[in-house]
Structure formats: structure tokens, C-alpha cells
Structure 1
Amino acid sequence: MEPFIVSARKYRPQTFKDVVGQQAITNTLLNAIESNHLAQALLFCGPRGVGKTTCARILAKQINQDGTVHEDEDFAFNIFELDAASNNSVDDIRNLIDQVRIPPQVGKYKVYIIDEVHMLSQSAFNAFLKTLEEPPKHAIFILATTEKHKIIPTILSRCQIFDFKRITVKDAAEYLKYIAESQGIEADDDALHIIAQKADGAMRDALSIFDRVVSFSGKNLTRKAVTENLNVLDYDTYFSATNLILKHDIPGLLLLFNKTLALGFDGHHFITGLASHFRDLMVCKHQETIELLEVGDTAKKNYLEQSKQTSNAFLLQALNIANDCDLKYKTSKNQRLLVELSLMKLASIDFGDEKKNPESIALANSTIEFIAPAAFYRQNRALIPNSPDKKETSLDPLTTTANDDTSKMPETVVEERVTVGSSSMNEPNSKIGQPTMQAEVLSKPIHIKTKGKRVSGLSISSLKAKKQHQINKIEVIIDESELPKEAFTEEDMQKHWNDFVKKIDGDGQKLLASSLSTDIPKLSNETTIWIELPNDTMKKEVEREKFQLMEYLRNNLNNQFITLKITVNEEVSKKFAFTPEEKYQKLREKNPAIDVLRKTFDLDL
């Protein structure tokens, strides 16, 4: 019985062409050898199992070949490997320096490979500095490390640095497929991709896992055998979980999670895998990003099919929920409940063309009562036809419909489309009367009626009614050509402005009256009134109450297109901020005798 040789040793690359996933570095080294531009100190750094020591051995062999020796000659007497993890003292480095002085007996160069060089002590590094900077012509040092940041800068500055990258899943899977074919093993592409993903960018780990799985399953390497042996969750688990989420099947989803826990997997592993699954589905949504999907051909087809059943909004929300669960998992005291709660949230996501809203469903078949804004009546007053009896004031419900293909309405009728929950209304056009007093119209609420009882504006249900009002889509058609737009002068505007200030001052609105009296309003153009205020507080007060002012001016000036522009001028503010000395000067200007009074009684300011 022949001794078994692990694949990591059996299939160790013998030339630079055999090295997997490091084409940039191998091409650089080959060109350096051919052009005789090879540095005497090289530093290979990168993750474990990506080919650092292998490339060092291949380089040591290549530089000693001059064409006169056999290609299989390994020049073992010219290559010295030192494990810095166990030989990290100053004495070990001194012994190495003594050997460097002796030229090679065979070949041209002596190559010193120091593995895990970051393990050298500080004094050993310092002892090595001079030799590393000016080595003999026949000596080349190759340092290899997985932790570049632990090497002192004086060593780094003396070396030519090569950063080895992690081997991609695609490259690792292709190399595993080559090894499986050379050994006569039938392997599924999905099985090899799972092994490559489990290796996490290390080719040596991938080969070790490959040997282990082959020992378990024999000559037929299937996806099921790989997932069972490596104790990883299969793609099918996440495909099933996503299907249950899309069906809003919470009981089935919880049972699937319980089954996963029974197989020995923890909740953290399940939720992070589900987040990765959502990420892969998102990648499949765009043709340009499909190449980021690192799975086999069979799994890729399944991902493409399931991605068509999901929307971008659903996947983004699902990723947020899964990521939030991942962040909270370690600090949670009831981790299973945390994952189950996240799964319930995932199964409750609404997706598709129309988003479901539980509040809108709860408010279906109810009456929504709200006060229409004054601007609505102001803008549409000219559109309301005259009533036969002017003494009678009536305001019937506005015509409502739920269909976009409604026949064209006359210009004098205001059309309003309202959708409440899942129910809709379609009533015949009603006659709208002319109000005798605008104040009466403004004080009357509009009732958009459906079946059922009303929602009071002062009850708890009004919160839901407010939410429903935001959901409703109201479209008002207005013919602006019918609105009055008479020209007016600045003097007329200022007269009505002062009349309004006197009116509100008499009604007790002292603060607003004071703010409006601060500056004289001016016309910046035909319909824009401009006023400067001394501070932002006054500006906010006027903006909050400006609708009453604009209603008054528009009605009295018979122009419904008047707007108000408010600015803040700091100079105006300074004009009203007097110091005690300035107040005294003002008083003395009005009455000089006050100065005599102050001196007589020796008064202070």
C-alpha cells in the first residue's frame, strides 16, 4: 500500500505557470529574472495558503537554472529555509549571517527563505539590518509573512514588497476541478464552489477540504455530500426560506428555522447566511452584476429564477432586517427569539406593485372628516356657479370617483378623486351653491362619506384618519384663467394692509399686529408684497398667520395671485436695540432739562 500524499503537497506548483490566482506577481518575477533586475531582498506578504513559500521556492530554483543542468534539479544545497517562529533569536540570525558569506558550490545564487519573519525579535531584526541592506552578490533573501504590519519599517524599506491576494472562488473551483479530473473523481460544480467558498481564499485550505470530502464520499462528489460533511447550510434551505417569506408563511418559516437548529446550526449562522442569500438575489437583478455571484451554474439558474419573483424594495428591506439581527445577536439574551422575530418581520414585508397598509385597511368603510384649507375655497370661488337663491348657503359633497377613465367634467366643476383603503365611491355630479358669506364656508367641514360610522376629529381614531388622509390621492382641476387678477397700486395695498393691522389689533392679536407694523410693505413686482423684519422670530410668526392676511388682501384688492415675500434685515434689528446711553441721549434731545435734573440729584444711568 503506497503512502498517501495530501493534495496540498502532491499538487504543489513547480513552475510559475502552475501558481493559481497570482498572475501579476508571477509575471513580475519572471520578467525580473529574464531582464536580470531581481532585487536581493524580497518580501512576500499575504493571507495563509495563497502561494508565498511556493513562489519563493520556484524563484530560488529558476534563478539557478542556466540551461546546463536538468530541469528536475531542485538545487537543494542552494536553498536555505528558516522558520522564524522557532528561530527568532539574535544567535539564529548570527548563524545565518555567517553562512551567507560562503558562496554556492553549485549554481549561481544562495537563496535564504525566512518564513513567518514577523516572529523575529526586535534585537534579531536589528542584527539582520546590515546584511539585508548590503548582502553578498551571490545571496538573495526572501522573507514571507502573513502579518506585514508587525515588521519594523527599517526592514520594509530594504525589501521589494509583493502583496499576495486571496484566491477567488472561481479560480479555486477551476483548480479543484482540474485535480478531480486528474484523480478520476466526478465532482459537481456546485460542490466545488462550496469547497472554494469554505476555504476563504486559501488554496491550501481548499485542497485540505477536498481531501477530506473525497475520503467521505469516494469518487462521486455531490453537493449534498459536501454540505453534510462540512456542516454548512445548503442553498436549498435559503431558497425555501425565501419562498416562505414571499408567501407570508410565518408558521412554515418558524418550522424551517427550528429544523435548522435541530441539525446543529446556530441562529447566527442561519441569519447571516440568509442575508448573504438576499445579497446574491440583489446581484442577480442587474445583468452587469451577475458576475459577482460566486456559485455554480445550477445554483445560478435558481438564483436568477427567484430574483424575478422579488423587487429591489423588498430585498433592501429584507437586507436591513437581517443585518440588524446580525448586529444585535451577540448582545441579545434571547437569541432564538431575536431571530424568530426577524423572520416574522421578513414574512410581513409588503411587496409588489401596490403596498398594503394595515391602517388603511382598518379605516376602510369609514367617514373621514377634515376642514378644507381656505386656499381651496379662495382659488375655486370663481368656479362655483351662482345659486338660484343667494340667501341659501349649501355645500354638497364633491364629486368622487375611483377610475381614471371618467368622462370629461365641465370646467365649472371641481373634480376630486379619492381612494379610501380598498373601497371606492362613484356618485353623480352634485350642484354646488354660491355661499353668501365666505366665513360660513370656511367654517364648514367637508365630509368624504363611505359606509360606516364617522371618525371624530377629537378622538383617538383621528390619528388613523390623519394617516388615511395622507394616503388618499386628491386631484383638483382648476382653471386659473377664471380667477380675478386686477392691477393695484402700492398705496392701495398699504391702505388695506394698515386696515388689516388695525382689525387684528382690535381683535386681540397684538403680537401679529406688532410684527406687521414693524416695516412698511412694498411691491417688489405686480403681485409680490415684500416686507423686512428685524429677526427670525417675527418672520416665523408672520409666516404662521399669513394666510389670514393674504385672504384679506386678495379679497379687497380683487387679485387672487398676490404672494408675500418676507426677509430678515439685521440692520433693522439693530435699530430697535438701544443701550441705556442711547436711550438717555434720545430723551435729552427731546427735553434738555432732563440733563439738569440728573446733575442736580446726582443720578446714574
Structure 2
Amino acid sequence: MENFIVSARKYRPQNFSTVVGQSHITTTLKNAIKNHQLAHAFLFCGPRGVGKTTCARILAKTINCETPQADGEACNTCNSCRSFNEGASFNIHELDAASNNSVDDIRTLVEQVRFAPQAGKYKIYIIDEVHMLSSSAFNAFLKTLEEPPSYAIFILATTEKHKILPTILSRCQIFDFKRITIQDTVDHLQEIAQKEHITAEADALHLIAQKTDGCMRDSLSTLDKIVSFTSGNLTYQNTLEHLNILDYDYYFKVMDCVLQQDIAGALLIFDEILQKGFEGDNFLGGWAEFLRNLLVSKDDKVQHLVEVSGNLKDRYKQLSGKLSPEYIITALSLLNETEINYRQARNKRLHVEMALIKLCYLQQAVNLVSNDTTGEVVKKNLVPNNGQPQKLRAPFMQPLSEKTIVAKPATAETPVATAPTAPPKPVQAPTYQAPAQQTATMAPPVERPVPPQPTMPTSTATNTATATSSAPKTKLTGLAAMKEAIAEKNKSTTNAAVPITLGALHVYWEEFIERFRAANKMTVVSNLALATLSLIGPEEIGLCSRNVVQMRFMEEEKLEISEFFKRKFNNPTIVLTLLLDESMQEKVDLGPEPLSSREQFARMIEKYPLVKELKDKLNMELDF
């Protein structure tokens, strides 16, 4: 039985021209070899499976080739190339730093560098996974890496460049390998399938390339598994089954249900997905990518970013024309939030189903723009509807006050009464058209006749109202219109200032305290209740406190109290003055004053005379 060789080894590139997806590196290396401008140390870094070690081996073989070709490739016929292909070259040493990462291993390597090659021009040392070396090993390697012998060349390879010491990086010529694109991977897999006489659909190879995320080694290993699974006949369906990937058809079906607001259909499709063994997060991630592809497909300039097969691109393009960018972006945001909160959700199925229900009604999201003050608004569908916005009456927008009803300005055709005998035609203000279920609660429209004006000049208020109604009004949103109407109402009802009297002060003060009592803030209530109000001047209110603690509390609340009185008396010039009743201050008995040391001793000998006799007999001196 013939020994099977996996495709990753069987079709491993043997020269620069067969390396897939790294032309920017292979071209640089070939030019360096042709021009004899080789560095003494190279660092190949990049993701796994993109050809770092392969390029290192090809470079080592090409450097020692005895008869290199004109394009910088190895001849594969000389003794050096044949010995390398057979794995018997004495000038190329490969070290795995993952298992040989101690300082002793590097010292042994440095000792070998001292010996010149017996055959060939260079001795090449390939150190794979160099980031696994210890700090001591790196330090032992520094001097040799910076100033190696003329015949020694080091090629380092790593997947994690950030773990390498900066002193090592500065001594190497760095080459960054990139991920292999999906199209390059598909072309390479198609070439291998033809050589192995394997029947493979293009969509199946696309799935393999997308699943392996730019790693050629994983792509070849996956191809070998699916070939064994399908006996050499790769189709889109059996590749989906083997790789456990959701079919794009599911996303197209779900999208159709969402656009038709068919919640039942969307939930049934999601249930079918769960029955096949897929988790909710797989569905969310795949649908987010599906919506991203729809958004990119709307612009021809970036359509190449949709890395799918040709027939799928057409389906994406056709479906994206039915959706607006606003809808897709909003749906992506919703799915992103759902995916973030998926792990914290206890009922994960319900969590995903809620996102489906929201997306079904997302196309009815509206942008409310006030068309007029009677509640007519514009509804703008995120899904285009022949480019025409729809108008509707918002049932939740009730007329706030009479100010929200603006009468039509008088025009030249409007008759103006010139004599009392000519009764004017009553003008009816436009009213809000309520829905049927709210008609019973709505007030009937009010008819206001225009008073006759025989010979009297128009009053200032009438002129102002006419000027206001004839002036162009800026369209406001619903919230801004409500705020303006309330401000107008307050302004019309509180024009005159309320006289400041001691009785009114106490009434308003009790109202102010009652707010804190209702909030159960009894500490604040007790401090406020102890204060005494007085009138110091016509527009100056005095607030007297009984103690310093209460005074400090009043200072903190002074601004709020002052604004309260200004609002109640409709007088912005009111001044609030805080006072302290010194007569209410309690005198604190601090006790007798402390005695000095000399006074304490004098009182002691006065009470105990023997102490003085003892002092005199011992001839003691006291240090006060």
C-alpha cells in the first residue's frame, strides 16, 4: 500500500514562483540574491500557515545554489540543490526554538557557527518560532547575530513579533507575511484538485477558503478531509455538512421573512437552524456578516470586498437594491448589541428570537418631523417605497393648549368689517383630527368670531398677534413644539408680578417645605421649619436661622430657595438674605481655664505643705 502524503507536504513550494500570495516578499528576496545584497539576518513574521518556514527553506537552498537561474531561482539540478531536496545538506541547519529555547542550546549553536562550510558558500541557520527563546538565550545570541562570520546567515521565523526583544529586531531585516486572500487560496486549491483528479465545485472551494481564514496549510488539510469524506467529489452541500457552516440560503430566507414582516416564518427558519445543531451565536455572527455583505454590495467601487463566489455576488447585489443603507446599518447595530449580550442571556433562544422580531418591524421605524402644530407628521420608511415619504396622523400628539392652534393669517381676499352693521364671518381655527377611539375624549372645535372694528385703530395686541401669525414659523420636532407651547402658556398667564407680602411668604414657604415632606426627607424639613421669614425691603426677603449648623444648611440651599420665590412671585429681582439670630445662640460652659505648670505646683504645695519641705531638703529645682 502506497504511503499517503498530505497535500500540505506534497505540494509544498520548492521555489519562489510557487509560493502563494507573498509576491512582495519573494520578489524582494530574488532581487537581493541576483544583486548579491543579502543581509546576514532575516526575520520572517506573520500568521500561521502563510509560508514563513517554506520561504526560509527556499531562500537557504537558493543562496547555496551553484548555478542560479537568471530570475534568481534555484536550478534544482546542482549537488547543493539535490542534497537539500533529499534532506542531506550539511550547510543548512534548522532549529526549533519551541523545544530548544535554553541558553545552552543557543551556546551550542554559536559554537557551530565558528566552523566554515566544507562545501558551498554559506551556512544557513533557520530558527523557527524564535519568540519562544528565553531572555538569557536572546542575550547569548545578540553578539553573534550582530556580527556573524561572513559565511553565516540567520533566518528567524515567528508568529508573534511583539515578543521578540527590540535588540534582536534591530539586527534583522524584517519581512511581514500577510494572510493569503480567499481568491488566491481558491485558485491554488483548484490547481491541486486538477492534479489529483478531484471534482470540486467553486462554491465548495470558496467555503474552504473562508473557513481557514487565509491559512494555506489549514486549507490543504481541510481539502484532504473533505476529499476523504466525499470520495473525491466536492459539492457545496457536502462541504457545508462537513464544515458545519450555515448555508447562505438560510440568511436569504430569513431576510425575505423580515422584509415581509413574517415573524412566524422567521422563527420557523431559526428553529430549523437550531435543530441542525447550530448555536444562536453562530447564527448571529453569520447574519451580521450577511448584512455587511449586503451593505458593501450597494456600491460598485467596494463590491470586490464581498469575498464570495460569482453567483452569490449577484444575489447580494439584487437584494441590496431593495434595502436602504440606513436600514442595514441599524440592523447591524441591533445584531451587534444582541451578540454582545448573548452570553449573559439566560434564555438564549428567546434572546435571538427577540432580535428577529425587532428586525421584522425595523422597516417601520419612523423619523417624526413636525409638519404642523396640529399633529401631522411625516413617516419615512427605512425600506424605500418608491422614494415617496408617507404622511400619517400621530394619535399620541394631543393639542396642548390654545396656543398650539395657529389661525390662518388674513389675506387680501379676507373681508374686514368697516361698520357695526356688517357682522363678520366667524373664523374657525383648524382642529386636530382625532382617531375614532379618541373622539369621545376630545373637546369640540372652538369658534371665535372676529370682533367688529368700525373706526377704532387696531390694538397693539392685535397687531402683535397678526405679525406673529403672518411671520414664517420654523418647523419644530414634537418635543420642541411641546416645550414652546408650555412656555407660551406660562408667559401668557404670569405676566404680572405678584405683590410680596408676609402672608404670601408663609404660604409659599409651607409649599416649599411640603415638597421635601412628601419625599420623606425629614431632616431637611426640620431645618427648614425652624427658619423664620421676614420682609427686609420691598424686594428683599430675610431668612433667619437659629444656629450656625442651620445657617450653613441654608447657605447650601440658598440658590434653590431664591429661585423658588422668584418663580412664585414672578419677580426676578427678589433678593434672599440669610440671617443668624444671635440671641438664640446657647452659651456653652467650657469649664475653668487650664492652669500652667507653675500654677499647678503652687496649688499643690498650698494643699500639701510637705511637698515644699521635701523640695527644700533635697535642694531640688523644678523645670517649668
CA contact (8 A) 1:97 1:131 kept: yes
- Give the structure 1 partner of residue 102 of structure 2: 89
SS of corresponding position for 2:127 = strand
- Structure 1 match to 2:523: none
What SS class does the counterpart of residue 350 from structure 2 fall into? helix
* Cα shift at 1:507: 2.9
CA gap 1:286/1:167 in 2 versus in 1, 3 angstroms: same
**1:420, 1:468 within 8 Å by CA — same for their partners in 2?**
no
Q: Distance in 1 between matches of 2:51 and 2:23?
A: 11
Segment drifting more, 46-55 vs 320-329:
320-329
Taking the TM superposition and a 5 Å limit, the aligned residue runs for 1:331-346 are 331-346=344-359
**DSSP 3-state at the match of 2:139:** helix
**Whole-Å separation in 1 of the counterparts to 2:40 and 2:273:** 55
2:496 pairs with 507, 512, 522, which one?
507
Alignment partner of 2:426 out of 375, 385, 394 = 394
Equivalent-residue separation in structure 1 for 2:494 and 2:285 (angstroms): 66
The SS at the match of 1:86 is: coil
Change (3 A) 1:240 1:420: farther
* Corresponding residue for residue 6 of structure 1: 6
Contact 2:306-2:313 within 8 A present in 1 as well: yes
Give the letter aligned to residue 507 of structure 1.
Answer: A
Please give the secondary structure, in 1, of the residue aligned with 2:208: helix
Q: Aligned letter for 2:351?
A: L
SS at structure 2 position matched to 1:56: helix
Deviation at 1:333, TM superposition (A): 2.3
- 1:107 correspondence with 2:120: yes
2:383 is matched with 352
Which amino acid letter does the alignment assign opposite residue 231 of structure 2? G
Aligned to 2:543: none
Instruction: For residues 166-188 of structure 1, give each alpha carbon's deviation from its aligned partner in whole angstroms, at most 9, with x where no partner exists.
Output: 11111111111111111112211
Q: Structure 1 residues 269, 235: closer, same or farther in 2, change over 3 A?
A: same
What is aligned with 1:73? 82
Q: Is 1:299 equivalent to 2:312 in the alignment?
A: yes
Deviation per CA, 1:46-75, whole angstroms, max 9, x where unpaired?
Answer: 110000000000000111112187255253
CA contact (8 A) 1:360 1:468 kept: no
Measure, in 2, the Cα distance between the counterparts of 1:91 and 1:173: 44
- Which residue of structure 1 lines up, in the alignment, with residue 238 of structure 2? 225
Q: Percent identity?
A: 49
Asked if the contact 1:88/1:120 (under 8 Å) is kept, the reply is yes
Give the counterpart letter for 2:416 in structure 1: N
Who is 2:402 aligned against?
Answer: 371
- Cα drift, residue 196 of structure 1: 0.4
In the alignment, what sits opposite 1:59? Answer: 59
Instruction: Look up the match of 1:427.
Output: none
Asked if the contact 2:200–2:234 (Cα under 8 Å) also holds between the matched residues in 1, the reply is yes
SS at match of 1:320: helix
Q: Deviations over 1:505-525 (max 9, x none)?
A: 9932799xxxxxxxxxxxxxx
Provide the secondary structure at the position in 2 that maps to 1:317.
Answer: helix
Residues 203-238 of structure 1: CA deviation (Å, up to 9, x unaligned): 111111111111111222111111100001111111
Asked if structure 1 preserves the Cα contact closer than 8 Å seen for 2:6 and 2:221, the reply is yes
Distance 1:435 1:383, change over 3 A: farther
For 2:572, the equivalent position in structure 1 comes to: none
Q: Distance in 1 between matches of 2:127 and 2:43?
A: 10
Instruction: Report the counterpart of residue 330 of structure 2 in structure 1.
Output: 317
Q: How does 1:177-216 map to 2 (within 5 A)?
A: 177-216=190-229
Residue 264 (structure 2) pairs with residue 251 (structure 1): yes
Following the alignment from structure 1 to structure 2, what is the Cα–Cα distance between the partners of residues 506 and 43?
Answer: 82
Counterpart residue number, 2:584: none
The answer to whether the 8 Å contact 2:44/2:174 transfers is yes
Query: 2:349 and 2:12 mapped to 1: Cα distance?
Result: 45
What secondary structure, in the 3-state scheme, does the structure 2 residue paired with 1:191 have?
A: helix
Q: Secondary structure at the match of 1:137?
A: coil
**Partners of 1:54 and 1:185 in 2: CA distance:** 25
The residue identity in structure 2 corresponding to 1:56 is A
Q: In 1, distance between residues paired with 2:190 and 2:95?
A: 34
Tell me: CA distance 1:230–1:15, structure 2 relative to 1, closer, same or farther (3 Å). Answer: same
Q: Is the 8 A contact 2:416 2:424 kept in 1?
A: no
The runs of at least 4 consecutive aligned structure 1 residues that moved more than 6 Å come to 355-359, 418-422, 437-443, 467-470, 503-506
Work out which of the residue numbers 182, 187, 202 in structure 2 matches 1:174: 187
Q: What letter corresponds to residue 149 of structure 1 in structure 2?
A: H
**1:412-441 deviations in Å (ceiling 9; x for gaps):** xxxxxx99999xxxxxxxx99755588799
Matches of 1:507 and 1:397, distance apart in 2 = 28
Greater C-alpha Rg: 2
Q: By how many angstroms is 1:301 displaced?
A: 1.7
Alpha-carbon distance in 2 for matches of 1:370, 1:226: 68
2:220 and 2:103 mapped to 1: Cα distance? Answer: 37
Indicate how the Cα distance of structure 1 residues 367 and 200 shifts in structure 2: closer, same or farther if over 3 A, else same: closer
Deviation at 1:276?
0.5
What code does the residue aligned with 1:249 have?
A: D
How far does residue 352 in structure 1 lie from its aligned partner after superposition?
2.8
Distance 1:344 1:137, change over 3 A: same
- What letter corresponds to residue 178 of structure 2 in structure 1? K
Q: Deviations over 1:68-111 (max 9, x none)?
A: 87255253221111000100111111111111111112221111
TM-score normalised by the chain length of structure 2: 0.63
User: Which residue identity lines up with residue 66 of structure 2 in the other structure?
Assistant: D
Cα distance in structure 2, aligned partners of 1:240 and 1:77: 62
Give the 3 Å change call, closer, same or farther, for CA 385–510 of structure 1 in structure 2. farther
* Equivalent-residue separation in structure 1 for 2:320 and 2:494 (angstroms): 66
- Cα separation, 1, equivalents of 2:11 and 2:400: 80
Alignment map for 1:512-591 (pairs within 5 Å): none
Please tell me whether residue 385 in structure 1 is matched to residue 415 in structure 2: yes
The TM-score, its normalising length taken from structure 1, stands at: 0.65
Could you tell me which amino acid in structure 1 is paired with residue 63 of structure 2? I
Q: Give yes or no for contact 1:199–1:205 (8 Å, CA) kept in 2.
A: yes
Match of 2:579 in 1: none
The answer to whether the 8 A contact 2:263-2:357 is kept is yes
**Cα distance in 1 between the residues matched to 2:413 and 2:92:** 99
CA contact (8 A) 1:217 1:225 kept: yes
Q: Output the amino acid matched with 1:111.
A: I
Cα separation, 2, equivalents of 1:324 and 1:43: 41
SS in 1 for 2:427: coil
Partners in 1 of 2:43 and 2:281 — Cα distance? 39
Query: What does 1:132-143 align with in structure 2 at a 5 Å threshold?
Result: 132-143=145-156
Query: Residue 238 of structure 1: which of 251, 258, 278 is its match?
Result: 251
Does the C-alpha gap of structure 1 residues 92 and 125 become closer, same or farther in structure 2, counting only changes over 3 Å? same
For 1:184, give the aligned amino acid: H
Q: Given the superposition, is the C-alpha separation of residues 466 and 98 from structure 1 closer, same or farther in structure 2, using an over 3 Å criterion?
A: closer
CA distance in 2, matches of 1:420, 1:65: 91
Give the letter aligned to residue 30 of structure 1.
K
CA distance in 2, matches of 1:321, 1:469: 30
Q: Residue 26 of structure 1 aligns with which residue?
A: 26
* Kept after mapping to 1: 8 A contact 2:407/2:429: no
1:284-326 deviation digits (Å, cap 9, x = unpaired)? 1111111001001121122122212222122111111111111
Cα 1:115/1:328, change in 2 over 3 Å: same
Relative to 1, partners in 2 of residues 1:369 and 1:118: Cα closer, same or farther, differing over 3 Å? closer
Q: Which runs of 5+ in 2 are unaligned?
A: 69-74, 364-381, 437-446, 453-457, 466-476, 483-491, 501-558, 568-574, 576-624
Once residues 98 and 392 of structure 2 are traced to their aligned partners in structure 1, the CA distance between those partners, rounded to angstroms, is 68
2:303 paired residue number: 290
Deviation at 1:360, TM superposition (A): 5.3
The C-alpha deviation readout for 1:464-491, integer Å capped at 9, x for no partner, is x968999xxxxxxxxxxxxxxxxxxxxx
Q: Where do 5+ consecutive residues of structure 1 fail to align?
A: 401-417, 423-430, 444-464, 471-502, 512-536, 546-575, 577-605
Q: Which amino acid aligns with 1:508?
A: A
Are 1:308 and 2:321 an aligned pair?
Answer: yes
Distance in 2 (CA, whole Å) between partners of 1:88 and 1:274 is 45
8 A Cα contact 1:385 1:432, kept in partner? no
Give the secondary-structure state (helix, strand or coil) at the position aligned to 2:428: coil
